Structure formats: C-alpha cells, structure tokens
Amino acid sequence: MSRIGKRPVPLPKGVEASVDGQTVSVKGPKGNRSFTATDDVTIAVDDGAVTVRPRGTSKRARQQWGMSRTQVANLVGGVSEGFKKELEITGVGYRAAVQGKVLKLQLGYSHDIDFPIPEGVSITTPRPTAITVEGIDQQLVGQVAANIRGWRPPEPYKGKGVRYAGESIFRKEGKKK
C-alpha cells in the first residue's frame, strides 16, 4: 500500500478540479494546469478533495498510484501558491540583472550570459547577487533554476559560483607548501 497514494489531495479555497477520463484539470487564482494519468489509476473528485486509487494489484499500478497523487498535489499547490527557487551568486564581480525577457548574468567569463526567460516562469533579482525563479509548474521552475546554476556551479575551494539558497558546499583545503 502506498502511504502517499492513500491520502486524498485537499482542494484549498478558490481552487477547482475536474476529471475528464484520465485527465485532471485544476483551476486556481494563479492559473490552470492539467495532468494526464496512466490507465493504471482511477482519479475522482469528491467533497473538496481529489483521490487517486490503483486499478489493480500489479506492480505498475502500485508504482503509478503514489506518483499520480504527487503530480495532482503539485498541480493544486502550483495554481494556489506557486513554486519558488532562490539562487545566490558568490564571487567578485558576479552579478545578475533582468532586462525585459532576458536574464543577464556576469559570472566571470569574458562575455555576459544572456538567458532568455521561458514562458510560464518569472525571474526577479531582488539584489544583484540574488535570483528568484517563480512559476506554477514545479518541474519548469526547477529546470530553469538548474540551467542558471549550470552556467557556473559553486566550486569547492573558494565557493564561487551560483548556488541554491541554503545549499551548503563542501569546502576543500588548498595546496600546502
């Protein structure tokens, strides 16, 4: 039995869910999202909650049960509150700025990096050394944050680079004479 799959997904105030076949559509204050589940699970909406049940006792049905429930929970969380990733930039002269639909990064290369902001994600820079990625799609927000971090991941000797807020970097000791 899936401990995650057993729990119904509660619908907060202002969020509506509808099921059409295997497709769950969720509408909330931040937008609309939908998810199509496999045929191994049954999805139903009853009294303010979405429930997911397996169709059989096969291994695949039990695997899809918890995953489908988590996907529905992410839809509900995205349209009600949204998702946010915060990045910090460490290094002399490293900075970021948003200009229109482009994030300009100065990360110690000989050129600036122009990162086009994808549709469905908003990027803000509260400080020149901080980046906030927000959106209603958890996968897209995480992928955009990982792409930005990928330009200059933090290095272990001085800790320079782009890191997630609260991420700890294992620091190494330098060469000794």
Instruction: List domains and CATH numbers for the chain.
Output: 3-80 (3.90.930.12), 83-164 (3.90.930.12)
- DSSP label of 136: S
- C-alpha span between 130 and 46 (Å, rounded): 42
Distances in Å between the Cα of 144 and the Cα atoms of 78, 83, 111, 134 are: 16, 12, 21, 10
Burial of 88 (0-12, 13-18, 19+ CB in 10 A): middle
Secondary structure (3-state) at 160:
coil
Per-residue pLDDT of the chain (177 residues; tens, 9 = 90+): 668 888 888 888 888 888 888 899 999 899 899 989 888 888 989 888 989 888 888 888 888 898 899 999 999 999 998 999 999 999 999 999 999 999 999 999 999 999 999 998 999 999 999 999 999 999 999 999 999 999 999 999 998 999 999 888 898 988 887
Q: What is the largest CA-CA distance in the chain?
A: 70
